[in-house]
Amino acid sequence: MKNIKLQLEKELENYLDSSGEFLSYYPDMNIFTSTLYRKQLKEVLKFLEKDSEANAKSFELYLDTIIINMHTKVKKYKQSIYFDNENIKNIENQGYSIPFYIDEKKSVYILLGLVKSEVKV
């Protein structure tokens, strides 16, 4: 959906303009989350909790593991389908995509969103 792409583009623009609120994923890490990512994560976890609280916790724990270790595997991730930019890649996890931006100058990673993988642009 074009709406998803526009939301992700806005988050990237906010980062590049230093106008958004980007929080550290964990203290002292070089991984930051956008407002959109945090909002979408809450929605996904709420949805999963309706089925099973254990499934939601398992999803979040596995996602944490992937994100914490993403810097060691960044080369394996494919370019994001939402952007024509080699510095934006997708992490695939349990039916969801996490587009993230690699800011090589600052050596940081920006999680832009959390999108159901079936969503096409």
Question: For 11-63, what is each residue's pLDDT tens digit?
Answer: 999 999 998 899 999 888 899 999 999 999 999 999 999 999 999 999 999 99
CA distance 65 to 56: 14
pLDDT, average across residues 88-117: 94
CA distance 108 to 121: 26
CA distance 46 to 86: 32
pLDDT of residue 118: 67
**Element (H or E) spanning 109, and its range?**
strand 108-111
pLDDT of residue 105: 94
Using a pLDDT cut of 90, give the percent of the chain over it: 83
CA distance 80 to 88: 6
How confident is residue 119, by pLDDT bands cut at 50, 70 and 90? Answer: low
pLDDT of residue 114: 96
Using alpha carbons, list the distances in angstroms from residue 106 to 3, 12, 89. 29, 15, 17
Into which CATH architecture does domain 2-116 fall?
2-Layer Sandwich (3.30)
pLDDT tens by residue, 51-93: 999 999 999 999 999 999 998 999 999 999 999 999 999 999 8
The domain locations on the chain are 2-116
Amino acid, res. 115: V
Query: By the 8 A CB rule, do 95 and 80 touch?
Result: no
Entry pTM: 0.91
Bridge partners, residue 98, by sequence: 91
